[in-house]
Structure 1
Amino acid sequence: MTATPKSRRRVLVGVAGVAVVSLGIGVAAGSRISSPEDAAAKTAPPAASQITVPVARKLLSSKVVGRGDASFDGAVNIRVETAGLTTPPIVTGKVPTVGSTITEGKALLEITGRPVIGLAGVLPMYRTLSPGSKGPDVLQLEQTLDRLGYDPGTVDDEYTLSTSAAVEKLYENAGYDAPAPEERLTQAVDQAKKQVDAAKKQLRQAQSQLKAAKDAKAKDLSVQQGAVDDAQQNLSDAEQARTDAEFKAGTPLPVSEVVYVKTLPRRVDDVKVERGGTVNGVVMSASGASLVVTLKVDAETAQRLKAGMAAALELSDGTSVASKVRRVTKNGSQYDVVVAPNALTGSQLALLRDANVRVTIPVKSTSGKVLAVPVAALSSGSDGASRVEVLRNGQVELVPVTVGLSADGFAQVTPKGDAKLSEGDQVVVGK
């Protein structure tokens, strides 16, 4: 059957429509197909960009921070030398309680009814001192008496009657009778006084005989005058002997009645004796009356610290106590840093006692605000000199710097020569 012109047009239109649809599908499919190179390009990470931070102007402070234990400073064992006693060393009173304070010039214990007086000094009491004694222990005693306001005369290494008088005042202020000299010495004084009295009587008799001879107008008075001269010499010798005896019988300082402790006052930590007991070795242990905090540091840190440095103690209530480093001492492989509060209130003392607290010790600080960058911004050139990378107008510029104090992750920097670096400049710390 022959197709009409109208039917042929419909066939052509249909074919054209199919072609157009096929072309659209092909284009769409083609847009989803890419080469491996194109795929790699599209999935690659973006080009790296610099991470920057601004240069800051700030105060830098280097410090040592740690935790330390509070304790009473400088524990010592206190011994009383009882070898000089003629009776058993029985404790008869003044037994201290733990927590009480040993005060210089006061009795810390009583043995056989006599006081044991505490004095500050480094040389232990090892013998009884009395007039005529000489040595460094005498010098220490006189220095102590002089410091306490009891005039010992010339402060030297010789125990004199002035020293005896000062010792008497020491005992008087402690509330006790001064020690008595040995009986043989007092007996020697009594005997010397009798000799003086006898010599005076002899002199009076000789003078009386001389006067009688003169009244009788005797021509030769040599015998009577010789007797007077001899009597005067005997009296002078007797008076000198009495002076010597009195000197030797001056107030002594028994070895059992004084103990020297390096520093006073101190706090009693432990008592080893009781009333009625016998003294045998250590009678008590005592520490400093003031609280200190001790923290341990390594050798490198210890080299940065020294006595006198300011410090701060952070108490549990959040308050800070101004303090100072008292000493830095080696303890095995570490170092002990002892920090003492400048002053404590009663409540602060209670909080600090036996506590573990945070300690901050400023080591060094800049004088005012300085240019500072993170330590990560610093790098070294081939010559070893320090530098920072500054991002300016999209370009990185190397700026040579001198590095100062580093603290808390920042370092003080100063641009070298004609280099420019200002607050707010962006320095590269990473990519």
Structure 2
Amino acid sequence: MTASPKSRRRVLVGVSAVATLSLGVGVAAGSRIQSPEDAAAKTAAPSASQITVPVEKKALSSKVVGRGDTSFDGAVNVRVETSGLRTPAVVTGKVPAVGSTIHEGKALLEITGRPVIGLAGVLPMYRTLSPGSRGPDVLQLEQTLDRLGFDPGTVDSKYDGGTARAIEELYEAAGYEAPEPEEQLTQAVDQAEKTVDQAKNALRQAEAALKQAKKQPGKTDFSVEQGQVDDAEENLNDAETALAEAEFKAGTPLPVSEVVFVKTLPRRVDDVKVERGGTVNGVVMSVSGASLVVTLKVDAQTKERLKVGMPASFDLGDGTIVQATVRRITRNADQYDVVVAPKSLTAAQLERLREANVKVTIPVQSTNGKVLAVPVAAISAGSDGSSRVEVLREGKVELVPVKVGLSADGFAQVTPTGDAKLAEGDQVVVGR
């Protein structure tokens, strides 16, 4: 049977539809098929690009930073030597309060009604000094008296009349009577005065006898009477010399129990070991420097970077920065104690810093103003050992040789060498 024209058109339309569908499927499938090269190209990481930062112009400062404990400088125990007293060493007054300050030339305590005067010196008071005493302790005493304005005469190692007079002035300024010499010395003066008086009487009698002999008629030999006068004059001279010596020895002394030497004054009273009515037995108080200091510990390597006199600062914790100075550096076992002293503190700051722990900063080196600086990571070494930085210019990397200066806080000072150019704002490579 022959198909009708209408049936043939349906078949052609169907065939066309199937062909079109097959073509679409083929195109879609073809779009999903990739070569190995295409696949690798699409999954590979992007090409590396340089990480750059600009060259800066800034001041650099290398510093030592650490934490330190506050204290009052140079704590020492004050000991009064009372072995020379003939009565019990009873404290009768002037007991200082903790936190008060003791001053040079003033009484810091009273024992048996007598003052204990504080003076600045390194040698302790270990004996009573009096006219005729000699030694380095006498020299220290006279240097101290002279410094305080009490003229001891010639400043030497001998305690003489000038020293005694200066001691009297010291006590008068402190508000006390000067010490009295020992009784046997005053008795020796009294006895010497009597001997002088007797010698004067003997001389008067001898002179009177000579005068009377000269009035006798016919007498021409007066050698006996004259000899008696000569002997009386010699005896008087000896008696007057002995009196002067006795008076010298009976000059104003300085009892061992009435002065203590402390290395420096004024100082703060940290602790009091005695009370009024009690008996002194060795240490009477502990004192420290009136100035507060901060002590931080550093290792030997850090210590080599520090020097006495360097400027420093420490943070009070509220953003307040106190300017200070390195006062001293001392070895402590395998470490070093760096003592930093503030230039000034208010009373409130002083009270706040008692027994505190604060952050200390000590600049050890700095540039002279602003310099070209790059991160340390931007600096590399060439094959010859010279330093260089990579500068990105117009998409290309250029090696710029540099001289490296101070490094601090992750930055380093750089100076281009030769004909190389480097300026603030240039982009240097620090990574990729």
Match of 1:382 in 2: 383
Match of 2:2 in 1: 2
3-state secondary structure, aligned to 2:384: coil
For 1:41 and 1:297, locate their aligned partners in 2 and report how far apart those are by CA, in whole Å: 58
For 1:328 and 1:106, locate their aligned partners in 2 and report how far apart those are by CA, in whole Å: 32
For 2:145 and 2:280, locate their aligned partners in 1 and report how far apart those are by CA, in whole Å: 27
Q: Which moved more, 1:381-390 or 1:53-62?
A: 381-390
Q: TM-score if structure 1 supplies the norm length?
A: 0.96
For 1:374 and 1:425, locate their aligned partners in 2 and report how far apart those are by CA, in whole Å: 13
Match of 1:397 in 2: 398
Q: Which 4+ stretches in 1 moved above 4 angstroms? A: 4-7
For 1:123 and 1:384, locate their aligned partners in 2 and report how far apart those are by CA, in whole Å: 59
For 1:341 and 1:394, locate their aligned partners in 2 and report how far apart those are by CA, in whole Å: 53
For 1:72 and 1:122, locate their aligned partners in 2 and report how far apart those are by CA, in whole Å: 19
1:292-319 Cα deviation digits (max 9, x unpaired)? 1222222222221222111222224432
Amino acid in structure 1 at the alignment position of 2:407: S
Match of 1:148 in 2: 148
Q: CA deviation at 1:190?
A: 0.7
Amino acid in structure 2 at the alignment position of 1:68: G
Q: Does 1:19 align with 2:19?
A: yes
Match of 2:181 in 1: 181
- Paired residues for 1:219-368 under 5 Å: 219-368=220-369
1:347-405 Cα deviation digits (max 9, x unpaired)? 22232223222222222111111000001111122332221111122222222211111
3-state secondary structure, aligned to 2:187: helix
Q: Does 1:72 align with 2:72?
A: yes
Percent identity among equivalent residues?
A: 77
Q: CA deviation at 1:240?
A: 0.6
1:259-318 Cα deviation digits (max 9, x unpaired)? 111111111111111222222221111111111122222222222122211122222443
3-state secondary structure, aligned to 1:358: strand
For 2:225 and 2:318, locate their aligned partners in 1 and report how far apart those are by CA, in whole Å: 96
3-state secondary structure, aligned to 2:116: strand
Amino acid in structure 2 at the alignment position of 1:268: V
Contact 1:57 1:423 in 2 (8 A): yes
1:188-243 Cα deviation digits (max 9, x unpaired)? 11111111111111111222222223344642222222222211111111111001
Contact 1:316 1:351 in 2 (8 A): no
For 2:186 and 2:220, locate their aligned partners in 1 and report how far apart those are by CA, in whole Å: 47
For 1:383 and 1:347, locate their aligned partners in 2 and report how far apart those are by CA, in whole Å: 59
For 1:212 and 1:256, locate their aligned partners in 2 and report how far apart those are by CA, in whole Å: 59
Match of 1:128 in 2: 128
1:102-144 Cα deviation digits (max 9, x unpaired)? 1111111122221111111111111111111110000000001
For 2:235 and 2:418, locate their aligned partners in 1 and report how far apart those are by CA, in whole Å: 98
Match of 1:370 in 2: 371
Match of 1:430 in 2: 431
RMSD: 1.6
Q: CA deviation at 1:10?
A: 4.5
Amino acid in structure 2 at the alignment position of 1:320: I
Q: Which moved more, 1:11-20 or 1:187-196?
A: 11-20
Match of 2:54 in 1: 54
For 1:254 and 1:94, locate their aligned partners in 2 and report how far apart those are by CA, in whole Å: 18
For 1:36 and 1:74, locate their aligned partners in 2 and report how far apart those are by CA, in whole Å: 82
Q: TM-score if structure 2 supplies the norm length?
A: 0.96
3-state secondary structure, aligned to 1:306: coil
For 1:125 and 1:21, locate their aligned partners in 2 and report how far apart those are by CA, in whole Å: 121
Q: Which moved more, 1:353-362 or 1:256-265?
A: 353-362
Corresponding pairs, count: 431
Match of 2:118 in 1: 118
1:143-191 Cα deviation digits (max 9, x unpaired)? 0111111101100111101101111111111111111111111111111
Contact 1:120 1:261 in 2 (8 A): yes
